[in-house]
Amino acid sequence: MKLILDQVVARRGRWSFMAQGGFGSGIHLVTGDVGSGKSTLALIMARLFPPEQGAVRSEQILTVMLSAQFPEFYLTGLTVAEECVSWGLDADQILRAAGLCISTSTPPLCLSRGELKRLHLACILARQYDLLLLDEPFSSLDCSEKERLCTEISRRQDGITILFTHEQATFPHIDHIWEIADNCLVDCGVLPGALERWQHAPALVKKLVRAGRVPENLTSDNIREAACRTRG
């Protein structure tokens, strides 16, 4: 299973972006500054935004899901129950998965941004997709909900999962890091080696790497273990 970006070039006005690389099974992290092109890249991978040049190819990918940053733009149900049914899911089960204590008759647009994000992500993570694209999945979530989301994402065993985010504190288990720099997609590589090449790494990760205490991964436990480690 693989998603291939073959000399992809995207343009919006005077802004342009180039991407080359292959995404295999596992959890991929794509970072970059705000406005660097993360959302555009997600749309290209989902084949919802055609590149100016190049091609997007896939191998053994039959099902694709894109979770956009603002779920309120994609609601189809007038109540929470109707929204869950539109996904082919049971509303009570989804509310439990999302940790929401609300009535299934509640209109989704009456939820807070964070509650709506939790509902949206619970619906998406209730199903398995060959390619799952998560654009800023941590936005509008508090620290505890970010941790819970990371646990759920880390449990994905099959398929390709790609996170597009500028999150700096909370991450799931990551297999591969990419970043957007100077209008190009850069392949930092697999972890833990990728951490030494990651320009957009959080300040704490950079400090640990400089001290020779490279975390095995980016989960909270990995960061804490590296921070407590002493050189032999």
- Structural domain boundaries in the chain: 2-63+128-163
Residue with tokens 């998603």: 3
> What local confidence, expressed as pLDDT, does residue 157 receive?
80
CATH class of the domain defined by 2-63+128-163: alpha beta
Residue 126 is predicted with a pLDDT of: 96
* Residue 146: per-residue pLDDT: 96
Q: What is the pLDDT of residues 62-82, one digit of tens each?
A: 999 999 988 898 899 999 999
What is the residue-averaged pLDDT of the chain? 95
Percent of the chain with pLDDT over 90: 92
Residue 74: per-residue pLDDT: 87
Q: What integer pLDDT is reported at residue 231 of this predicted model?
A: 55
pTM of the model: 0.95
- Regions of the chain where pLDDT drops below 50: 232
